[in-house]
Structure 1
Amino acid sequence: MAQYSLITYSLQDQPSWWKPIMKFFGLKETWDHYRYATYVIVSEALKKQVFQELTKKMKSIEDRASYKRVTEHRGQWALQRMGYYQEFGWSVEAEFDESILLWHIATDLLFHDTINENGTTEDDRLISQHISNYMLFLLIVRPFMMPAGIGQIRFGDTCAEARNFLQSEDNIEVIGAVKKILGVSTDYDPGLVKGDRSKSVLFNGCRLAHQLKKEFTDDDKQNREEYKKVNWDRMWRLIRAVWVEMLCYAASKCSGQYHAKQLSKGGELVTVVWFLMAHLGMGEQYRIEEGHARAKLIVAK
């Protein structure tokens, strides 16, 4: 699956004499899509988490109301189930493209910030990073497969703000950029920093990262190191659960004709998820009118 990182793009997309020419001929966007996209193998752990998340939701469907509630969740159900909706609900109640950018920035910052932390569950950490980068790829390169919004405008403004914020640093690497962004105080209104007209979500994403880090770090425990390990573990489980739910939501909201269009070009992970949801009776093409009866195939020996 494809990967697209906002921080990496902001650092690497530096001014050059030929870029205005490409922009004039309408080629820069295409160049950016293929220049900055990378690819990773879809892991067995990721497949397992998606399947488990969908089967849990399927079991909770009992009537039309519960069906609609489950299919409309894009992070809310995961936060509620794990007991963190009050703390982080604001981040998933925004427009979907804004939520993707918020969680992408927070995930990227925390991924590099916890790179040497002992006790972190590597599967959850990598799954979170891979889905985060993949969802940003869909938002920027395959916007027709995502719910309508202003994701590309928000992405452009956020990258511009990141470049302005990091412009004083020469040859800064990702780790250095992450440390500098995380060093920003999030006690103030981001509008005072970025202005009201900007659609940038850089500092709100940083605020989400700070809140996640604070929520899962408790310095008052006697055995601090052991407790810290457990909390990092829980933090990445929460982030992974939110991203899996966002992926499933995006799959269900994409039109079947666009899924078919991408199949002719090699397919996308989001389309495979859409097929799985249809197989489980959870897609937009299904409606539960009465009860929760399901067909059962019995194969005789």
Structure 2
Amino acid sequence: MKSTEDRTSYKRITEHRGQWALQRMGYYQEFGWSVEAEFDESILLWHIATDLLYHETKHENKEEPEHNDQEISQNISNYMLFLLIVRPFMMPAGIGQIRFGDTCAEASNFLQSEGDIKECAEKILRVSTEYDPGVVKGDRSKSVLFTGCKLAHLLKEQFIDGNEKKGIKPMNDSDGMWRLISAVWVEMLCYAASKCSGQYHAKQLSKGGELLTVVWFLMAHLGMGEQYRIEEGHARAKLIVAK
């Protein structure tokens, strides 16, 4: 809302699904590729990276962060994956379920023996992503497991331990990393809410409601999105629900 000043910017905000957050915080050059992919692919990439980093670091900090961006990121990440797999009709069209299936199959094949979640995360994070995972696995599989792992490595390199390679003392800015991750997730959530048809929001209301619809209504209240018309001369918006 701080970035919206006129009718054009109110509509423009729902065309971003992580780009604005990365640009505003100065990391688009490093991570822009991950949000310029197809939306379902971006969700899976950021879900994998979020999950790996969450389970690797959640026991490291003894003190709770002031705004708990780590928990916020994990919760929205899990919710967006739930929508992609269980409520695909509420999401922009894509091949999310195929990508999810291939990614699960590759994870299962790679991990083989069972372990706890933290051990699995550590094993995946130990994989080198020096080479493009897409080139290594070929075109047949739609799995994004190791591309998501690459994103996790890049986030760690940027915020935690990467500067060591350049002979610079590591920043260890874990809080900054989670602020960025949570900002991207919030933007993805708002994008998904604005792109979901009004009839599907209404359908889910009759079945108990959905967080995505609450976000949609909040955005309507603030006058943001394609479904909202801001009247000339009035600081209010009208919600337009197509039949």
Structure 2 partner of 1:263:
205
Structure 2 partner of 1:152:
97
1:81 aligns with 2:16: no
Does the residue aligned with 1:249 lie in a helix, a strand or coil? helix
Q: Output the CA distance in 2 between the equivalents of 1:213 and 1:111.
A: 12
Which of residues 236, 239, 246 is equivalent to 2:178?
236
Question: Which runs of no fewer than 5 residues in structure 1 stay unpaired?
Answer: 1-54, 297-301
Does the residue aligned with 1:216 lie in a helix, a strand or coil? helix
Q: Output the CA distance in 2 between the equivalents of 1:74 and 1:160.
A: 27
Structure 1 partner of 2:74:
129
CA contact (8 A) 1:96 1:147 kept: yes
Q: Runs of 4+ in structure 1 displaced over 3 angstroms?
A: 218-222, 287-290
1:50-92 deviation digits (Å, cap 9, x = unpaired): xxxxx334xx23242x334212000001001100001000000
1:91 aligns with 2:34: yes
The TM-score, its normalising length taken from structure 2, stands at 0.89
1:90-114 deviation digits (Å, cap 9, x = unpaired): 0000000000000000000000111
Structure 2 partner of 1:50:
none
The TM-score, its normalising length taken from structure 1, stands at 0.72
Q: Output the CA distance in 2 between the equivalents of 1:191 and 1:294.
A: 48
Pair 1:70–1:61, CA change in 2 (3 A): farther
Q: Output the CA distance in 2 between the equivalents of 1:133 and 1:208.
A: 17
Structure 2 partner of 1:56:
2
Q: Output the CA distance in 2 between the equivalents of 1:114 and 1:84.
A: 21
1:181 partner letter: I
Which protein is bigger by CA-based radius of gyration?
1
1:62 partner letter: D
Q: Percent identity?
A: 75
| Matched length | 231
CA contact (8 A) 2:50 2:181 kept: yes
Which of residues 204, 215, 221 is equivalent to 2:158?
215
Does the residue aligned with 2:228 lie in a helix, a strand or coil? coil
1:142 aligns with 2:84: no
1:294 aligns with 2:235: yes
Q: Output the CA distance in 1 between the equivalents of 2:228 and 2:7.
A: 12
Q: Output the CA distance in 2 between the equivalents of 1:288 and 1:141.
A: 33
Which of residues 193, 198, 201 is equivalent to 2:141?
198
Structure 1 partner of 2:15:
72
1:33-59 deviation digits (Å, cap 9, x = unpaired): xxxxxxxxxxxxxxxxxxxxxx334xx
CA contact (8 A) 1:161 1:194 kept: no
How far apart are 1:172 and its partner, in Å? 1.5
How far apart are 1:188 and its partner, in Å? 1.1
How far apart are 1:192 and its partner, in Å? 4.1
Structure 2 partner of 1:253:
195
How far apart are 1:190 and its partner, in Å? 1.1
